[in-house]
Amino acid sequence: MSRLENILIKLKDGSITVEEAALKIKGQPFEDLGWAKVDTQREMRQGTAEVIYGEGKTAEQIAGIVKTMNASSQNTVMITRLSSEKADKLSKLTDIKYDGVSKIAYTGEKAAPDGLGKIVVATGGTSDIPVAEEAALTAEILGNETVRLYDIGVAGIHRLLANRDTIMSASVIIAVAGMEGALASVIGGLADCPVIAVPTSVGYGASFSGLSALLSMLNSCASGVCAVNIDNGFGAGFLASRINHMEAKK
């Protein structure tokens, strides 16, 4: 249930007045910190809170944004691309949980899984795991059940085929792969659900830091596949969650 519905229900059942509701809804849609304009109504507008991109911000800045968001009733706040050093500092300023593989920190609690089905996160190799974990943890925080299928790259296609049932039972699949990125096409050819391809910068030489995988995924001959930016596990997890929470809209 979204924050907006929450306010409207409280109004309806009399626990808040019309004036209070209006205030909560109308309140300035962003908080201006001078150097940052925190989007305090994104949750109401788009269903999920603003997510903080941790790279290039100091721990103090992040803590400031987190507090501003908490103050406007957004309790679960995610921070992505947070180095372990910065996480250490941040944990002294505000209460966070931190995962060192995905480099994600968050305040509050993971939402209870309530999507249409399971989100399967697959990787081509073991080096793709950090990006995959960013995707999986994002999806979990946003209220999804996830299944991890790691190291099923096409160089040993039987490892992938052995997991065909898991693939067929998925609600959404996130295919994470570097180098030639063929995983997305092969999964795309098997699955009957949306497939979100995440190219990774894993590889060397003519992988050109993920360009090779990205082009492969964009050119996938399988239908039902789309791509996000190189190494963008968060984006894939976020979109997968949105798809997994689809409901009738008239």
Within positions 163 to 222, which residues make up the interface with a second copy, using CB under 8 A? 169-171, 179-182, 185-186, 188-194, 196, 199, 201-222
26 in contact with a second copy (CB under 8 A): no
What tokens does 170 get? 């998925």
Provide, rounded to whole angstroms, the least separation between the CB of residue 15 and a second copy.
25
Q: Classify 73 in phi/psi space as left (phi over 0), alpha (psi -120 to 50) or beta.
A: left
Residues 79-108 contacting a second copy, CB under 8 A: none
242 in contact with a second copy (CB under 8 A): yes
Among positions 118, 121, 134, 144, the unique one binding a second copy when judged by CB under 8 A? 118
Residues 124-153 contacting a second copy, CB under 8 A: 124-127, 129, 150-153
Provide, rounded to whole angstroms, the least separation between the CB of residue 42 and a second copy.
7
Q: How far apart are CA 78 and CA 67, in angstroms?
A: 12
64 in contact with a second copy (CB under 8 A): no
Among positions 13, 34, 92, 112, the unique one binding a second copy when judged by CB under 8 A? 34
46 in contact with a second copy (CB under 8 A): yes
Cβ–Cβ under 8 Å, residues 209 and 182:
no
Chain centroid to Cα 222, Å, comes to 24
Secondary structure of 149-218 as H, E, C letters: ECCCCHHHHHHHHCCHHHHHCCCEEEEEECCCCCHHHHHHHHCCCCEEEEECCCCCHHHHHHHHHHHHHH
CB closer to a second copy out of 19 and 192 = 192
